[in-house]
Amino acid sequence: MKGKAKHVVGGGGEESMKYSNNNGGVAWSRGPLLGKGGFGSVYLASLKNPKSRNGYYPPVMAVKSAEVSASCSLQKEKEVFNCLNGCPFIIKCFGEETTRDRGGEMFYNVLLEYASGGTLAGLIKKSDGVGLPELDVKRYTRSILEGIHYIHSHGYVHCDLKPDNILLVSSSTKAGEFVAKIGDFGLAKKSEKRNKKRKFDPYLRGTTLYMAPETVANHVQEPPCDIWALGCVVLEMLTGKQAWDVKPDVTIEELMRKIGDGYELPKMPSEVSKDAKDFLKRCFVANPMFRFTAEMLLDEPFVSGVDLDGGEFVETSDAESVEWTDTLCGTDDEFSGSSFYEEWSFTSDEGSCFSPWSDDEEGITSNVDAMTHASRVEENAVQYLPTCTIPAGA
């Protein structure tokens, strides 16, 4: 047995679990529930002794847990973290442990960096539909973009970028400020562009409102789909409203048809700067062939001069990436012979690379309450936005 648990009582009468590792690992107490996702629950955790022979652990962490019998997705997420742990704009992973609760149930736990500022979604919600100051948006956007660039350069696609999955970590040098970091890699996948053969994925990963046209229309989820999602996040930060003007009675099928057609793009807000508009235009290009990459966007005036406080990049070994590729993408693939760009070229014609936006268009007036960040669909209407994998043809 790798670990055992002792029952303790936390502050305010809340029950928590104290876990200790028999192999010289870290002893930690599980505190309040921070949130639940499709692949596990996240708890606040405090450590009795931050230092152990296995390395350094911060005194407070977030622990993502799932029953061992249902932890396959969480274990895969941990493997992604292993490959991306050198980026200061991605939530740090400190390791993994297996524990047992009072009832004898085994749990798989991933120890993660704690984001004391909550999520970007929570910060946007506090703006009451007004949006964040543009200077803050620039800083957060630059951080997110650095993280995306690192993800893509290491051969991954996040597939579920949205404000809920952007976490705010307290700055180490500037009191009262937070650094935006990308988290939740439960739906991440290897980019197919690095493989000789394309493997057809029968599922759509992610949250509908942030999906790119090629994702909805053709089940293509490659690096450009993260750039589209980034545009949705930036637009939401600037305006306090979601990118698509969705009414409460709109069904998921109608929303997906609207996005997948590629004829309509999110509306350009009129109250933001020219640099912000130009940045959004580079993200919201219907044809992914002509959409800017993360590396290209880093040179855009909107973010190019932003001073970041995130720490240093640390190069990680590619060995884990190769092993992960072999695990997910076998060699018996039915698709072959087509290039990365050829696979996407059918999603729209060349004309679609030009944005229909004009600088005098009105700002977004979408009903924020029509879609929230919760994961629930009710009575065939888009009351809440699902984060899920959707089988083809469903």
Going 269 to 369 to 232 to 285, the CA torsion angle's sign is: negative
- CA-nearest of 127, 121, 181 to 151 is 181
Q: Which of helix, strand or coil describes residue 302?
A: helix
Question: For residues 131 and 270, is the Cβ–Cβ distance under 8 A?
Answer: no
- CA-nearest of 128, 117, 111, 136 to 59 is 111
- CA-nearest of 326, 323, 330, 313 to 84 is 313
Cα–Cα distance measured from residue 267 to residue 101, given in angstroms and rounded to the nearest whole number: 50
CA dihedral 271, 272, 278, 280 (to 10 degrees): -90
Question: For residues 318 and 250, is the Cβ–Cβ distance under 8 A?
Answer: no
Element (H, E) at 50: none
Q: Please state the separation of Cα 228 from the chain's center in Å.
A: 13
Cα–Cα distance measured from residue 383 to residue 72, given in angstroms and rounded to the nearest whole number: 29
Question: For residues 97 and 111, is the Cβ–Cβ distance under 8 A?
Answer: yes
- CA-nearest of 191, 197, 199, 283 to 234 is 283
Cα–Cα distance measured from residue 124 to residue 130, given in angstroms and rounded to the nearest whole number: 8
Residue 319: which residues within 8 A CB-CB, separation 6 or more? Answer: none
Catalytic residue among 136, 160, 278, 369: 160
Element (H, E) at 189: strand 189-190
Q: Would you say 258 is a known binding-site residue?
A: no
Q: How distant, in Å, are the alpha carbons of 39, 145, 230, 294 from that of 298?
A: 32, 7, 13, 6
Active site residue 160: yes
User: Binding site for ATP: residue ranges?
Assistant: 64
User: Binding site: residue ranges?
Assistant: 64
* Catalytic (active-site) positions: 160
